[in-house]
């Protein structure tokens, strides 16, 4: 589980901000909370992030996505690191950008952090948090005695060799795992596979796997699509010859780059909507995924995704994530930017309530999402420490705060009304005079 994620000097975040998934002492919706007895922790299952346009919501998601990609897919040696630091300060150049993860992996807590500039990694470290103490597994910096390794670490000689082979623009964690060393692999694997990010333009995430007839979620998928009033009764796969779409040399390249078990949606003009390339057992298959509607006589009619509404297509993007989340035991964090895009408030609320209603204290899945849908801003659904606000200051720097940090947000308070009135921040500061009116007056 994700306990905390921090970022500093990234895009609009000049100062350090932290998204904290550890529950406060409040008692609302206690049945939502995951209990970690070993550490005496209670962890939140959801974080919803509000804020005005350009306030920093998506920048926080981009920070998480960049950190994940930098760890799992590092740049080539001697190439610039594509960070995006805060640029509006008086002296913004040269300052390092910092990321930090606090993670619960199985029954152990880890702290992992790294700082970098466009040229190099300046700091990196990993700690294992025991019930009563902390143990630094490794620490690296760009000055002085620049590498320290715990004496308790297995494969000590190999780990030192891996450090010597780590380029200055790459992470030691990444290189250690690439050298097939196992000590730090749980942290790498969790960051690689445990964080699933769905952007506003992502398409059909996970749909290929869930709609397979061999997947236990297949029937539930069809049931939920019917219950959510989409008009879709089921989903079907139609096999397509790979040779009819790709030349042989292109297939060889795709087979090399596509990971085992991974699906790739193909976009126009390469293919029509709803066609996936999938790799299983080293072989590529191409399938068209088609929604099924029933005619008045009960006959199944295959549609294309182009025939569906924008709202239905967005639902098909995110519903597989909710089906995975609702299993509860999968230790994954699904991060959805603009969950409400093209979705009716009642439909979005139904997805959230269905997910939260299945939670127990042993559930380990989590959901983080951004939204502008204030109809969801209610303590009937969320705890105060689950609702976050991004606010852009006059100097252009973004802040991040939970509603639980505001003293006047009581359990019985209409937080939506207070938010829209601007008492909690995170709303547009619209000028009272419209420029068009001023121009019209000048013309007269």
If you ran DSSP here, which 8-state letter would residue 127 be given? Answer: E
CA distance 48 to 374: 11
pLDDT tens digits, 302-316:
998 888 999 998 998
- pLDDT of 111: 98
Burial letters 55-89, b for 16+ CB under 10 A, else e: bbbbbbbbbbbbbbebbbebeeeeeebebebbeee
Q: Which CATH number fits domain 1-194+331-444: 3.40.50, 2.30.30, 3.90.550, 1.20.120?
A: 3.40.50
CA distance 53 to 51: 7
Least confident of 213-227, 267-281, 314-328, 329-343: 267-281
pLDDT tens digits, 39-74:
999 999 999 999 999 999 999 999 999 999 999 999
Going 223 to 224 to 228 to 230, the CA torsion angle's sign is negative
219-225 — which CB contacts under 8 Å span 24+ positions? 220/323, 221/319, 221/320, 221/323, 224/319, 224/323, 225/315, 225/319
End-to-end CA distance of the chain: 63
- pLDDT of 422: 79
pLDDT tens digits, 132-162:
889 999 999 987 568 999 988 877 889 989 9
- pLDDT of 34: 95
- pLDDT of 370: 98
Task: Kindly report the backbone phi and psi dihedral angles of residue 2, in degrees, each rounded to the nearest multiple of 5, phi listed first.
Answer: -85, 120
Q: For the chain, what is the mean pLDDT?
A: 87
Going 316 to 200 to 260 to 178, the CA torsion angle's sign is negative
- What band does 250 get if pLDDT is binned at 50, 70 and 90? confident
Q: Average pLDDT for residues 230-250, to the nearest whole number?
A: 82
Q: What is the Cα 128 distance to its own chain's centre?
A: 24
User: Which strand (E) or helix (H) includes residue 436?
Assistant: helix 435-443
CA distance 140 to 147: 5
| Contact of 386 with 46, CB cutoff 8 Å | yes
Q: 81: which 2 tokens?
A: 């690191």
Spans of all domains in the chain: 1-194+331-444, 203-316
pLDDT at 191 over 90: yes
pLDDT at 259 over 90: no
- pLDDT of 437: 44
Question: How far lies 429's CA from each of 11, 147, 177, 325, 402, in Å?
Answer: 21, 48, 47, 36, 20
Half-sphere exposure of 411 (CA within 13 A, CB side): 5
Task: Kindly report the backbone phi and psi dihedral angles of residue 8, in degrees, each rounded to the nearest multiple of 5, phi listed first.
Answer: -145, 140
Q: Average pLDDT for residues 375-390, to the nearest whole number?
A: 95
Question: How far lies 125's CA from each of 84, 112, 144, 281, in Å?
Answer: 22, 6, 15, 36
Question: How far lies 116's CA from each of 89, 182, 226, 394, in Å?
Answer: 18, 25, 48, 27
Q: Looking at per-residue confidence, does 311 or 217 come out higher?
A: 311
| Contact of 14 with 25, CB cutoff 8 Å | no
Q: Average pLDDT for residues 368-387, to the nearest whole number?
A: 95
> pTM to 2 decimals?
0.90
CA distance 38 to 52: 39
CA distance 348 to 360: 21
- What band does 278 get if pLDDT is binned at 50, 70 and 90? confident
Task: Kindly report the backbone phi and psi dihedral angles of residue 121, in degrees, each rounded to the nearest multiple of 5, phi listed first.
Answer: -85, 120
| Contact of 196 with 333, CB cutoff 8 Å | yes
Q: Average pLDDT for residues 221-229, to the nearest whole number?
A: 91
| Contact of 356 with 45, CB cutoff 8 Å | yes
According to DSSP, the residues that pair with 116 across neighbouring strands are 97, 121
Cβ partners under 8 Å of residue 246, min gap 6: 254
CA distance 243 to 250: 10
pLDDT at 187 over 80: yes
- pLDDT of 338: 96
- pLDDT of 412: 62
Among the residues of 327-429, which ranges form H helices? 345-357, 415-420
- 244 by Cβ neighbours in 10 Å (0-12 / 13-18 / 19+) ranks as exposed
| Contact of 22 with 42, CB cutoff 8 Å | yes
């Amino acid at each position: 589980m994700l306990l905390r994620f921090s970022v500093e000097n990234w895009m609009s975040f000049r100062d350090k901000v932290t998204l904290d998934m550890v529950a406060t002492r409040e008692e609302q919706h206690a049945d939502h909370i995951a209990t970690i007895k070993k550490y005496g922790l209670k962890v939140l299952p959801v974080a919803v992030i509000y804020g005005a346009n350009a306030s920093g919501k998506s920048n926080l998601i981009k920070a998480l996505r960049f950190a994940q990609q930098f760890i799992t897919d590092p740049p080539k040696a001697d190439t610039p690191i594509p960070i995006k630091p805060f640029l509006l300060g008086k002296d913004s150049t040269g300052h390092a950008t910092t990321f930090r993860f606090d993670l619960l992996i199985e029954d152990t807590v880890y702290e992992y952090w790294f700082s970098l500039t466009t040229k190099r990694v300046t700091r990196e470290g990993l700690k294992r948090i025991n019930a009563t103490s902390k143990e630094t597994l490794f620490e690296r910096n760009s000055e002085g005695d620049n590498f320290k390794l715990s004496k308790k670490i297995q494969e000590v000689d190999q780990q030192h060799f891996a450090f010597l082979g780590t380029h200055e623009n790459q992470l030691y964690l990444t290189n250690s795992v690439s050298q097939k060393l196992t000590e730090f692999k749980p942290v790498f694997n969790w960051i690689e596979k445990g964080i699933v990010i769905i952007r506003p333009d992502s398409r059909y995430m996970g749909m290929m796997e869930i709609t397979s007839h061999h997947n236990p979620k297949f029937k539930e998928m069809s049931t939920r699509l019917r219950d959510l009033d989409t008009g879709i009764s089921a989903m079907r796969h139609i096999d397509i010859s790979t040779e009819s779409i790709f030349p042989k040399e292109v297939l060889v390249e795709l087979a090399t780059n596509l990971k085992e078990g991974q699906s790739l949606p193909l976009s126009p003009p390469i293919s029509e909507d709803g066609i996936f390339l999938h790799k299983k057992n080293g072989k590529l298959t191409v399938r068209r995924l088609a929604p099924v509607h029933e005619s008045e006589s009960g006959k199944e009619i295959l549609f294309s995704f182009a025939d569906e509404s924008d709202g239905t297509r967005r639902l098909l993007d995110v519903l597989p994530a909710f089906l995975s989340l609702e299993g509860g035991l999968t230790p994954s964090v699904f991060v959805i930017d603009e969950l409400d895009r093209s979705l009716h408030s009642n439909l979005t609320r139904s997805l959230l309530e269905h997910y939260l209603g299945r939670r127990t204290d042993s559930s380990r899945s989590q959901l983080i999402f951004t939204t502008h849908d204030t109809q969801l801003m209610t303590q009937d659904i969320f705890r105060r420490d689950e609702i976050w606000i991004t606010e852009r200051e006059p100097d252009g720097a973004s802040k991040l705060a939970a509603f639980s940090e505001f003293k006047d947000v009581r359990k019985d308070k209409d937080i939506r009304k207070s938010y829209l009135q601007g008492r909690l921040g995170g709303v547009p500061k619209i000028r009272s005079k419209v420029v068009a009116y001023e121009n019209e007056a000048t013309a007269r």
